[in-house]
């Protein structure tokens, strides 16, 4: 526990001292100016800030708890990076302001005295609230890294308690502290800790699918270092250094530490000489006032309201992390600690006690249907898993990265059934749809090659009007093969590339394919200047047709393409970004819809078996979107350019496509290939 407590102790001490000094200055300023009666306003703002900070921490906890395993990783990773940004800014701000922030706060209080109570409450609330929110966010991220350990809470509590004692001693002039030196030393230590939090956060983003490189390791010592040893635990708890780290983690850790520490040290060397804290003397007490509402009422109410709101959020969720069961997963101890849970939404802490990364699944042992999953649990780390428990059998299946799956003993839960389980998909399940789709693409490539040859002959014969007519059928044929983009590899950039990233734009030698020909046909280029581009297009398509049967196609890509094709359409075709003169991006969008529909037809039996509501919703929104796209097609076969659509039509089209993407979003998760199968 103590290894996880140190970072939180440091942040609790430092942030607590900052907030405590602010409160001390607020109180001393009011007392010195003879406005002791205004002190309840200060405590009102301070306690409200504390309550909001506590509520913020609760919201983070229970928002994360309601997400899927992969979404939890992404959520935690984003907040870790945000926490690093806040802590970095805080370290530099306090290094610069240690000498002057007391005077700044006094000025604000003095200005507030001339106005109503609300301004003074707001001044104290904002002054303390920033520290509280930073503390809540950083403690949440360190708590995620620590898993079920109570270390972060213990460390933070000890740090805040010590900060309160120090602030009281400073206020009473019992203690003199060189604040500049204190914040310099703690700032350097926090930079080191923040580098580890950054690495941890980026790892979460990799495991959440937001960033690439989740399996590209800079080093992997998990096989030679005991993940449970004291030194491994110490490094992991304090610095977030683990036996297994990716290149992205290592590079980010080193770059952050080198750059930020260098800037910090340079700023320290250029700083003025430090000064000690002094507190103004306390004047004589004010005359007694008449009867009034007890002073404690408003501060207590300010603290109680946000705390009660946080409590409501907690009570609305049946899964209580405080009482979460800890389940250990490894080839040797799969499901250890698992007993029959009560029905309802339950929260599990899944701890990897092995020496290799593990995928953990809560399953129905009879059907292998998955109730919940925690992916990519590194040795010695913990992941949260949420599952809705009903009547039935439950077991844990542990799948190590380099071994065979192990299933725990099953437990029986009495009660009503639940429909939250998802039948796992195997590569075998996707084999038939994949074979059918490869055949579809192969047939499409034959039609595409004929179309590009016709286009090439038109240009060679200087029939540019005819070439403009033949360009579109060839291009939409290619677009209808959209689900295969991922496996076309370098051919896609050659055949359908744009000027994005090319230094010389449309004049760049790397600008080739359909859009290069399109640009020339609709910008007055001669047949002689376009002949080479058209010939190269045909050559590249022929090479793709020959190479395609030998190309690898990951079966797991099929479900992803149901969403990715039209996601690209929304980003590129519906914005006109890929229009190089023909004004036919909506024709391309229509072809992309047809390609998506072809793929969905092949996958529909698998989707229906897992969630029959998804295809129904998808079909409805696909029809609406297709109708809006086809409204831009004229009887003569020409298309309205997307930038000339009526504003209302364009808005409806964007909205329909966005909703269609929302309906398609569950399919990759439903048809994810799970090792638990």
Q: What is the pLDDT of residue 453?
A: 97
Placement of tokens 């038109």 in the chain: 458
The per-residue pLDDT for 72 is 59
Q: What is the pLDDT of residues 403-427, one digit of tens each?
A: 788 999 999 998 765 556 778 888 8
Alpha carbon of 197 to those of 193, 418, 673: distances in Å? 6, 38, 31
Contact 75, 152 (CB under 8 A): no
The answer to whether the CB of 404 falls within 8 A of the CB of 431 is no
What CA–CA distance (Å, rounded) separates 223 from 129? 45
- Confidence (pLDDT) at 291: 43
Per-block average pLDDT, block size 10, for the chain (677 residues)?
57 69 69 70 77 71 56 66 75 62 54 56 68 67 56 71 76 61 72 78 75 75 55 58 80 89 76 44 40 46 45 43 75 89 87 88 88 85 85 90 86 73 85 92 95 96 96 95 72 91 91 96 95 96 93 85 90 93 96 94 92 91 94 91 92 92 90 70
Asked whether the beta carbons of 39 and 47 are under 8 A apart, the reply is no
For residue 257, the model assigns a pLDDT of: 87
- What gap in Å lies between CA 464 and CA 455, rounded to an integer? 9
Residue 255: how many CB atoms within 10 A of its CB?
A: 12
Using CA atoms, how far apart are residues 444 and 431, in angstroms rounded to an integer? 20
User: What tokens appear for 245 in the block?
Assistant: 């780290």
Predicted local confidence at residue 183, as pLDDT: 66
236, two tokens:
């992991």
**Tokens representing residue 149 in the block:** 């350990």
CA 487, chain centre distance (Å): 26
* Beta carbons of 618 and 665 less than 8 angstroms apart: no
**Residues paired with residue 217 on neighbouring β-strands, in sequence order:** 246
Q: Quick one: how far is CA 278 from the chain centroid?
A: 45
Say how far apart CA 304 and CA 248 lie, in whole Å: 44
* The overall pTM is greater than 0.75: no
According to DSSP, the β-strands at 370-377 and 244-246 are unpaired
Which backbone phi and psi does 422 adopt, to 5 degrees?
A: -115, 125
d(C-alpha 564, C-alpha 660), whole Å: 12
Which residues, other chains included, contact 434 with Cβ-Cβ below 8 Å and sequence gap of 6+? 553, 555, 558
Query: 28 to each of 280, 362, 583, how far by Cα in Å?
Result: 6, 57, 70
How far apart CA 630 and CA 636 sit, in angstroms, is 13
Tokens of 372: 């919940």
Specify the long-range contacts of residues 533-539, CB closer than 8 Å, at least 24 apart: 534/452, 534/455, 534/456, 534/459, 534/460, 534/467, 535/456, 536/494, 536/512, 537/452, 537/455, 537/456, 537/495, 537/512, 537/513, 538/449, 538/452, 538/453, 538/455, 538/456
Please give the C-alpha separations between residue 75 and each of 64, 65, 141, 360, 674, in angstroms, as whole numbers: 7, 10, 10, 19, 22
CB 577 within 8 Å of CB 400: no
Length of the chain: 677
**What pLDDT, on the 0 to 100 scale, is given for residue 289?**
41
Q: Which of 566, 635, 623, 638 is nearest to 595 (CA)?
A: 566
Distance CA 595, CA 377 (A): 36
């Amino acid at each position: 526990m103590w290894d996880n407590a140190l970072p939180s102790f440091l942040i609790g001490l430092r942030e607590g001292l900052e907030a405590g000094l602010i409160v001390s200055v607020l109180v001393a300023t009011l007392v010195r100016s003879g406005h002791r009666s205004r002190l309840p306003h200060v405590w009102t703002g301070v306690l409200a800030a504390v309550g909001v900070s506590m509520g913020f921490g609760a919201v983070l906890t229970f928002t994360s708890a309601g997400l899927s395993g992969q979404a939890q990783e992404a959520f935690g990773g984003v907040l870790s990076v945000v926490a690093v940004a806040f802590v970095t800014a805080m370290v530099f701000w306090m290094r610069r302001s240690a000498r002057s922030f007391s005077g700044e706060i006094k000025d604000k209080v003095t200005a507030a005295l001339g106005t109503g109570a609300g301004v003074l409450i707001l001044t104290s609330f904002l002054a303390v609230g920033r520290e509280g929110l930073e503390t809540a966010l950083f403690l949440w991220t360190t708590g995620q890294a620590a898993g079920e350990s109570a270390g972060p809470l213990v460390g933070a509590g000890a740090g805040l308690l010590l900060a309160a004692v120090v602030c009281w001693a400073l206020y009473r002039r019992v203690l003199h502290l060189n604040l500049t030196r204190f914040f310099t030393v703690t700032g350097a230590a926090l930079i080191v800790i923040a580098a580890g939090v950054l690495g941890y956060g980026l790892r979460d983003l990799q495991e959440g699918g937001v960033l690439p490189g989740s399996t590209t390791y800079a080093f992997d010592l998990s096989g030679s270092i005991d993940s449970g040893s004291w030194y491994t635990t110490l490094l992991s708890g304090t610095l977030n250094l683990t036996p297994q780290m990716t290149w992205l983690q290592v590079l980010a850790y080193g770059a952050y530490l080198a750059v930020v520490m260098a800037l910090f040290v340079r700023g320290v060397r250029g700083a003025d000489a430090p000064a000690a804290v002094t507190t103004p003397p306390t004047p004589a007490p004010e005359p007694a006032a008449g009867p009034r509402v007890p002073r404690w009422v408003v501060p207590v109410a300010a603290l109680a309201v946000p705390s009660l709101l946080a409590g409501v959020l907690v009570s609305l969720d049946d899964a209580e992390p405080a009482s979460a069961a800890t389940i250990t997963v490894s080839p040797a101890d799969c499901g250890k600690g698992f007993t029959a849970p009560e029905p309802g939404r339950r929260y599990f802490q899944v701890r990897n006690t092995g020496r290799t990364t593990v995928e953990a699944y809560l399953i129905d042992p009879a059907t292998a249907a998955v109730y919940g999953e925690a992916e990519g649990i590194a040795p010695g780390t913990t992941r949260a898993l949420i599952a809705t428990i009903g009547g039935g059998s439950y077991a844990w299946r542990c799948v190590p990265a380099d071994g065979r799956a192990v299933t725990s003993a099953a437990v029986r839960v009495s009660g009503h059934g639940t429909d939250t389980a998802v039948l796992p998909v195997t590569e075998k399940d996707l084999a038939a749809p994949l074979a059918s789709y490869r055949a579809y693409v192969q047939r499409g490539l034959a039609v595409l090659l004929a179309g590009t040859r016709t286009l090439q002959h038109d240009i060679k014969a200087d029939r540019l009007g005819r070439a403009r007519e033949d360009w579109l059928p060839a291009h939409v044929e290619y677009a209808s093969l959209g689900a295969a983009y991922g496996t076309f590899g370098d051919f896609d950039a050659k055949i359908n590339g744009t000027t994005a990233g090319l230094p010389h734009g449309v004049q760049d030698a790397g600008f080739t394919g359909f859009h290069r020909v399109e640009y020339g046909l609709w910008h007055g280029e001669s047949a002689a200047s376009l002949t080479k581009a058209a010939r190269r297009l045909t050559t590249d398509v022929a090479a793709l047709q020959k190479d395609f049967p030998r190309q690898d196609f990951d079966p797991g890509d099929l479900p992803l393409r149901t969403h990715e094709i039209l996601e690209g359409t929304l980003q590129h075709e519906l914005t006109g970004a890929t229009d190089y003169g023909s004004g036919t991006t909506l024709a391309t969008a229509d072809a992309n819809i047809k390609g998506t529909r072809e793929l969905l037809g092949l996958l529909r039996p698998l989707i229906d078996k897992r969630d029959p509501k998804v295809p129904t919703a998808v079909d409805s929104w696909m029809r609406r979107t297709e109708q809006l796209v086809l409204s831009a097609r004229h009887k003569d076969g020409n298309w309205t350019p997307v930038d000339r659509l009526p504003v209302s039509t364009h808005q409806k089209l964007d909205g329909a496509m966005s909703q269609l993407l929302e309906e398609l979003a569950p399919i990759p998760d439903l048809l994810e290939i799970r090792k638990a199968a």
